[in-house]
Structure 1
Amino acid sequence: MRIQQLPIREVVADADRWPDGWPFTLAPVAQLLRDRLELGPLTILVGENGVGKSTIVEAIALAFGLNPEGGSTGAQNRTRESESPLHEALRLVRGAGASKRGYFLRAETIHGLLTYLEENPPLHGEQHFHELSHGQAFNQLLDSRLVQMRNAGLLVLDEPEAGLSFTSQVALAQTLGQLARDGMQLLVATHSPVVAAAPGAKLLQLDEQGMAPVDWWDLGQAEHLRRFLADPTRYGIDVRGWDAPGLTRS
């Protein structure tokens, strides 16, 4: 995909000033508004809870015209207004002639989206999501959306690892890399070092200092996972169970 064909080339501030308070006080948000954010075919934001990664991808999805609780530009499912005003401060630089189609999937509202799709099935046979596990429903929904989008447009995923097993996360990482190669643009927020390992991804690590490009091997979440697997006791966990010294049953 050539850079000018990306649905979103850059995210920039739409004004010289913006409101005080959250989320504008978050360092990654302030940096985005100050320096702008260039998106590639596959951009993944990684960081701890509360640093602003989900807030940023939500705002970009809304600025693109996607439904805040998930779905496409035409989805009408709404339960409770909770999105930040950040999208109102953003302007998207779009690629000339790029697809305007998009889809937004987010972990915290997927149950409501699945209910909405069951009650308003856009495709034949898409009405039994709640008979599946969380992970199965996510995979089925993702597959059906990708068929409809035909590998063109923008796919925004917020914490897609929720409900997915390790092997499913590996499969998702491979899928993300392939979709980017096939011509779709993807923007992802995740805690998972497995999802962050998607081939060809531009990784941005977010923290209280801001956000910066990072190699997967230097990713904080990947380092924590390596340390934990090597020795869980470093994190205060004794895998021998409740009978281990210093541990008591409650």
Structure 2
Amino acid sequence: MAETGAGTPGGWARDHRIVRRVAANDHAPTGSGEWPASVPAVDQLLREGLDLAPGVTFLVGENGSGKSTLVEAVAMAFGLSPEGGSTGARHSTRSTESDLWRWLRLDRSLGGSRWGFFLRAESMHSFYTYLEENPGKRDPRFHEMSHGESFLEVLRTRFDSPGLYCLDEPEAALSFSAQIALVGTLHDLAAGGAQVLCATHSPLLVALPGARILEVGPWGMREAAWEDLELVQHWRRYLDAPMRYLRHVLDDV
């Protein structure tokens, strides 16, 4: 999964990616079958490494495929809190993260930004509490907003600088129109030199032009075009004829 051009003479010197490559370090239990190395996508990462694209990379797959585990591990290896937030945030409620981040090495560009932000839907409530206990000049009272409004405010106040942005299912709190706004934000971040690694179930988000899409599943990770994703094909068929799917879970129809 190497990016073309990176290995040409002087290629690294011209490479402005904040994180060029994610690979296993000497502590990785490659081939041991130990979780999470037993997950096909994680095993592939530890064996082959992953060259991160400039701009936006999406990880798409079913629950349990490993996409969130991968995003979490990259965020933590970069130095971000497992419960979300920007560089320097150190709040913690209950440790649930895997050891994968301890097994990773991030190859960074010289002089690249050290700033990052990890947004994960499942822990944003505790992150808002942390912000209220450690207020900044630009922070509103997130707990007084709706879930979706607070997410949009985080986008407005935090997603405005070159850096590494790790997002775990950000669409969870967002309406259709808010997801469209997020697509615009991701586009602007990439245009400004940021890198984004995003795990998502949203066919709307992964339609972002120019994004790299990795489909995650029993095969590991594979590059895919938007129109070829199982996710997109299922949504198309469902919207065309919902009962094609619902008849399998509804007993009285």
2:234 aligned partner: 224
Q: Given that residues 61 and 104 in structure 1 are in contact (C-alpha distance below 8 angstroms), is that contact kept between their aligned partners in structure 2?
A: yes
Give ranges in structure 2 of 5+ residues lacking alignment. Answer: 1-12
1:88 aligned partner: 102
2:252 aligned partner: 246
2:19 aligned partner: 8
Supply the AA of the counterpart residue of 2:175. Answer: S
- Stretch moving more, 51-60 or 95-104: 95-104
* 1:215 pairs with 2:225: yes
| Aligned positions of 1:63-74 closer than 5 A | 63-74=77-88
Rate the CA distance shift 1:57–1:231 in 2: closer, same or farther, 3 A: same
**1:218-238 deviations in whole A, cap 9, x for unaligned?**
011111110000000110259
Q: Find the residue that maps to 2:164 and give its secondary structure.
A: strand
Structure 2 counterpart of 1:137, from 150, 153, 156: 150
Structure 1 counterpart of 2:245, from 205, 212, 235: 235
Rate the CA distance shift 1:180–1:3 in 2: closer, same or farther, 3 A: farther
Matched-pair identity in %: 49
Supply the AA of the counterpart residue of 1:31. Answer: Q
1:34 aligned partner: 47
* Partner Cα separation in structure 2 for residue 42 and residue 123 of structure 1: 29
Q: CA deviation at 1:160?
A: 0.2
Supply the AA of the counterpart residue of 1:246. Answer: D
Structure 1 ranges of 4+ moved more than 4 A:
none
Q: CA deviation at 1:33?
A: 0.7
Q: Given that residues 65 and 217 in structure 2 are in contact (C-alpha distance below 8 angstroms), is that contact kept between their aligned partners in structure 1?
A: yes
Q: Given that residues 28 and 104 in structure 2 are in contact (C-alpha distance below 8 angstroms), is that contact kept between their aligned partners in structure 1?
A: no
TM-score, reference length from structure 2: 0.89
1:205 aligned partner: 215
2:5 aligned partner: none
- Stretch moving more, 52-61 or 192-201: 192-201
- Stretch moving more, 165-174 or 32-41: 165-174
Q: Find the residue that maps to 2:85 and give its secondary structure.
A: coil
Supply the AA of the counterpart residue of 2:132. Answer: E
The alignment covers a number of residue pairs equal to 237
Rate the CA distance shift 1:162–1:183 in 2: closer, same or farther, 3 A: same
* 1:191 pairs with 2:201: yes
2:187 aligned partner: 177
Give ranges in structure 1 of 5+ residues lacking alignment. Answer: none
